[in-house]
Copies of this chain bind each other. A is one copy, B any other.
Amino acid sequence: MTDELLAVRMDFDELVLLLRKIFISHGTSAFVADILAANCAGCERDGALSHGIFRMPGYVASLKTGWVDGRADAEVSLVSPSFIRIDACNGFAQPALAAAAGAIDEAIERTGVAVVAIRNSHHFSALWPDVEPFARKGLVAISFVNGLANVVPHGGHTAVFGTNPIAFATPVADAEPLVVDQATSVMANGEVRLHALDNQPLPPGTGVDSSGAATTDPHAVLAGGALNTFGGYKGSSIALMVELLAGALTGGQLSFENDFGHCVGAQTPKAGQLLIVIDPDRGGSTDFSQRAALLCKHLVEAGQDRLPGARRYKNRHTTQTSGIPIAKNALSELLQMATGGAASSS
């Protein structure tokens, strides 16, 4: 309630404009600023706070140090009618993906499949914004991203994997798309940072400290420690799959190859992303979205309390009518960044 009293409420468009100004004033192109501002404001709007305005100091620091190129023009190559290769040229992943939007549409129309391999890219946001739009067009989309090595393989003691998220979106008849977005670590790194900010202990089993010993201290995990994969050895195998698909198959960097060098304060991972888009109605003779709706109905009847993505839609609905709450001190910081200043903290 105290936070609530100290918060202002902004329209989505108003927040996008402010964030856009921050990106522009730190040297990005208008194209990049448009995409990242809408993406970040969308996370804040949907209550995906670990990828919302909380990330802005990280974006700014990464741009200021020259670690990431905010003016990069991605190079899109058509390998085949179904296979698109993108060199993000050390820019952000989302504008690289946007640059291939037409090629993806064409691949889907011609062949029902688009495999999109993005390399030399920085992905610093949630993954669901990349896949949800495809589901709204009736398509199934799966994406994998690797990152900074901060997750230990099962049974190991040193970080090899990034938090390596998987996102998955499908249309559902007469309902919002089903959208899964989850790290293959026990917890997303952004969540660990939020715990650190609040000095809240992590649940047991979340991670290890720099010596490889189990810890519940978020600061210890962030200071040279690492996260565990979710689901034991099975989760670890999925993290491995993501590392290979996003980091190796794309021709990108593996998570452990990130070296910030002289770019002190930079935070965005230089890695890769694989996206697979499929037109589900080419697969069989049935209406996929009706079948997905039937499955969802059975999940609810079986007692599953919440379908993936439902919380985001609920938050989106709420903030669309009553505005996006932004803490006053966070707003001050954003306004300062919009004048080209660095954030007071990251």
Contacts and interface: CB of A to CB of B under 8 A. Distances in A.
Nearest to A306: B155
A166 B166 CA distance: 14
Interface residues of A, number: 76
Contact of A117 (B85, B284, B308): B284
A interface: dominant SS: mixed
A285 interface: yes
Interface string A115-156: 101010000000000000000000010100000000011111
B230 A284 contact: no
B81 A111 contact: yes
Given A81-B82, A113-B115, A232-B230, A302 B249 contact: no
A302 B158 contact: yes
Interface string A239-275: 0110111011111101010000000000000001010
Nearest to A235: B231
The complex is assembled from copies of this chain, and their number is 2
Nearest to A229: B231
A317 interface: no
A67 interface: no
A249 B294 contact: no
A156 B117 contact: no
A89 interface: no
Contacts of A81: 80-82, 111
B180 A241 contact: yes
A178 B243 CA distance: 13
Contacts of A166: 238
A208 to B, nearest CB: 11
B237 A302 contact: no
Contacts of A231: 230-232, 234-235
16 contacts: A79-B282, A80-B110, A83-B111, A83-B113, A112-B115, A117-B283, A119-B283, A156-B303, A158-B301, A159-B302, A235-B235, A238-B238, A248-B280, A248-B291, A248-B292, A249-B278
